[in-house]
Structures are given as C-alpha cells and as structure tokens.
C-alpha cells in the first residue's frame, strides 16, 4: 500500500476524516485523488476550490515523504481504516480516523474497557484503578486508557500486572514522550499491547488534541469506567463520547466531600452504573467468566478480520451505527442498487454483515 499518499492526503488542510473517506469512495485510492482533475474533485461533496488547490500543491507530498522516513526510523506501523487489523468498533463513532500510527504489538481489540480519570488522583483512586484494571486483564479484557498521569497510569500498570494487554491512545505523536516520566511505562505497553495515535509523528501534546483523542478511547471500548473525576474534566468528555457512541458508562463512587470525585459522583447521579467490584464491569459489558477465568464473549463478538475496499468500508460504517435498509444504504452512498447489492453480498461472504427480514442489514 502507498502509505505516503495516505499521509499526504490526510495532511491536506480542510480534509478531515469524513471528507477523506468520501474522496476514497469516489476515487478508490489517495494516489487517484492526487491525479484527479479539479473538475472531478469538485464532484465530491465538501471539496471546495481551496481544497482542490491544496491537493494539487506539492507541500503535502513533501511532508509525507519526510513522515515516511520518520515512521521507518522509529519502527512505527501505519494502520489504515481499510486494513484487516483496524479496530472495527471505531466504525461506530461517526468519524473514525483514516490513519492510526501504532507502536507495539497488536492485541485482540475485543473485549475492551476504557479506564480513565483524574491526573491528580487520590491514593484511593489510584489503588482502585490499578486493582480493577488488573482484574479486568486477568479476565481477558483489553484495558484502554490515555497514558496520562494519575488514573490512566494506574490503569495501564494494573493491566500489565494482571498479565493482560493494554492500549494507550495519545494526544500527540507516538514518538513523543508525554508525560516524560511515563517513558518506561510506554515501553512496557508497546511490548504487551500498543500505543496508538491519529496524530503525525513529532506532534506535540496540545490541549485541543485531547478531546479528539478521547473519542478514540471510548470508541475502542465496550464501556468507559471513570475513576475519580473533577467537574468539567477530560474524563467527563470521554464519558459523553461514550454515551453518544452507545457505550456503557460506569463510575467508581467517591467521598461526597472530595472535590476529586465530584464529576464521577455526578455521573452516577445522572445514571452511570456504580462500580465497586470487577464483576459489575464484566456484567455491564457482557463478558461472562468461565470456570478458568477466561471470558466467554457474547454474540456481539467482532467478525473475522478482513481487509476492505473504500466502498465496503462506507457500507460497514453505516451498518455499524445501526441496522440499515438496502435502499437507505444506496441513497446514503449515492451508488446504484447493483453496486450496493454487490458490496453487501461481499461483506456477507466475509462474515461482516448479516441480512435481516425486509432487506435490512446489521452486524452479525
């Protein structure tokens, strides 16, 4: 795959995840986008004359060439949303990142639970996050967090101590040590899971990056567990993303006199599930213990890993957000009924879709 073209197209100013996917649905590859005439580009909804001009300019391709050299030097892998190993749950979030930078080894993406919370956590909060994450890991659950100070750090440490895998989602480049004191922990994570980011190499941890990072943390997971959060914290943003994405929201209760717990206590008051033991989490995300302490996954387990074409990915993304009628898919993608029928059949044969009565389709 021509990863340089993927990087170059993602770097074009004005092209976000949604427009990126529209361009691939129309032209199939980033290379074809760059070779397309301005008139052809203009037929894609969202492409302005300024964006078409930026696509034709050489700056993004020069950036991509340098980026490819940085990726190779750092031993980083680039994962596109068409690759078989791309986490399929991200198709449910509405704007899945077209590219993920990955450092480490691929864990199984399912089942996964996000554990997040305050950077200035109390000793009790740190102990709770580490213990629950360790018990999740020992039950075969992938622990997802953000490698920040406080609860995130405790969650990753707990998952590693429990003998499981963990994923750290960064708000900076995967080659940036942030926070710097977690450099050794990051190395341990990359050996027992992976570190991922949608941001290019050497990208610094700017404040505006973290809300976007948070949607991936929740998107990867069946549920989000908040362990200590002040009011208006980033963890509450992750919880809101989880609600929007149809994930379970859980919280560990804290002392009513503690400012560190006001946000997490508020979540419980507003309907989040109270958690005081790992069984509460396993039940909420529908993971059942076996007699050997390994999870028996429910019928919503992910399909076999298969690579996709851009149009197949568009169909899968629609259906991942809820059952869709064949006519609805055809209208949304602006394709012919024959084209959509062929793609739906291909996804059925790959085990990624199933037909319901009345020409509706859903995930298996």
Please state the domain extents for the chain.
1-74, 104-297, 310-362
pLDDT on residue 293: 43
pLDDT on residue 305: 66
Q: Are 321 and 245 spatial neighbours (Cβ–Cβ below 8 Å)?
A: no
- CA-closest candidate to residue 248, choices 265, 226, 231: 226
Query: Alpha-carbon distance 43 to 90, whole Å?
Result: 27
- The token pair that represents 101 in the structure block: 């930078």
Is the domain spanning 1-74 CATH 1.20.120? The answer is no
Is the domain spanning 104-297 CATH 3.40.50.450? The answer is yes
pLDDT digits (tens, 9 = 90+) for 140-185: 999 999 999 999 999 999 999 999 999 999 999 999 999 999 999 9
pLDDT on residue 338: 85
- The token pair that represents 243 in the structure block: 């609600």
Q: CATH topology for 310-362?
A: Arc Repressor Mutant, subunit A (1.10.10)
pLDDT on residue 350: 84
Query: Alpha-carbon distance 253 to 274, whole Å?
Result: 7
| Length of the chain measured in residues | 364
pLDDT on residue 302: 45
The distance of Cα 281 from the centroid of its chain, to the nearest Å, equals 20
Which residues in the chain show pLDDT less than 70?
288-305
- The token pair that represents 322 in the structure block: 């809820």
pLDDT on residue 116: 97
Cα–Cα distances in Å, from 244 out to 93, 94, 111, 238?
A: 8, 10, 19, 10
99-104 vs 77-80, strand pairing mode = antiparallel
pLDDT on residue 133: 98
pLDDT on residue 294: 40
The distance of Cα 22 from the centroid of its chain, to the nearest Å, equals 19
pLDDT on residue 337: 86
pLDDT on residue 145: 98
pLDDT on residue 292: 39
Identical fold for domains 1-74 and 104-297, yes or no, is: no
- CA-closest candidate to residue 280, choices 270, 263, 268: 268
Q: Are 333 and 309 spatial neighbours (Cβ–Cβ below 8 Å)?
A: no
pLDDT on residue 52: 95
The phi and psi torsions of 78 (rounded to 5 degrees) equal -105, 130
């Amino acid at each position: 795959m021509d990863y340089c073209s993927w990087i170059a197209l993602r770097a074009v100013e004005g092209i976000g995840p949604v427009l990126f996917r529209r361009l691939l649905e129309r032209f199939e590859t980033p290379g074809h986008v760059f070779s397309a005439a301005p008139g052809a580009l203009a037929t894609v909804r969202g492409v302005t004359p300024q964006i078409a001009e930026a696509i034709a300019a050489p700056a993004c391709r020069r950036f991509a060439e340098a980026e490819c050299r940085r990726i190779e030097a750092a031993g980083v892998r680039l994962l596109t949303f068409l690759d078989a190993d791309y986490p399929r749950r991200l198709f449910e979030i509405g704007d899945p990142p077209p590219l993920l930078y990955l450092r480490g080894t691929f864990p199984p993406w399912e089942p996964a639970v996000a554990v997040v919370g305050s950077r200035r956590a109390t000793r009790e909060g740190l102990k709770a996050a580490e213990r629950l994450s360790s018990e999740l890991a020992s039950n075969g659950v992938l622990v997802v967090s953000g490698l920040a100070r406080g609860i995130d750090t405790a969650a990753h440490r707990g998952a590693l101590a429990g003998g499981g895998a963990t994923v750290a989602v960064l708000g900076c480049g995967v080659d940036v040590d942030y926070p710097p004191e977690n450099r050794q922990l990051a190395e341990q994570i990359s050996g027992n899971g992976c570190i991922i980011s949608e941001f290019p190499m050497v990208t610094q941890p700017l404040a505006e990056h973290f809300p976007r990072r948070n949607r991936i943390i929740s998107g990867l997971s069946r549920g989000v567990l908040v362990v200590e959060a002040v009011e208006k914290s980033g963890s509450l943003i992750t919880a809101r993303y989880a609600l929007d994405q149809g994930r379970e929201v859980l919280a560990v209760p804290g002392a009513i006199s503690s400012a560190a717990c006001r946000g997490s206590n508020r979540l419980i008051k507003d309907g989040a599930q109270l958690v005081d033991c790992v069984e509460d989490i396993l039940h909420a995300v529908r993971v059942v213990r076996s007699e050997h302490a390994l999870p028996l996954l429910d019928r919503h387990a992910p399909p076999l890993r298969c690579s996709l074409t851009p149009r197949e990915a568009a169909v899968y993304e629609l259906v991942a957000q809820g059952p869709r009628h064949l006519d609805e898919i055809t209208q949304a993608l602006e394709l012919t009924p024959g084209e959509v029928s062929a793609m739906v059949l291909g996804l059925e044969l790959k085990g990624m879709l199933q037909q319901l009565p009345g020409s509706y389709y859903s995930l298996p």
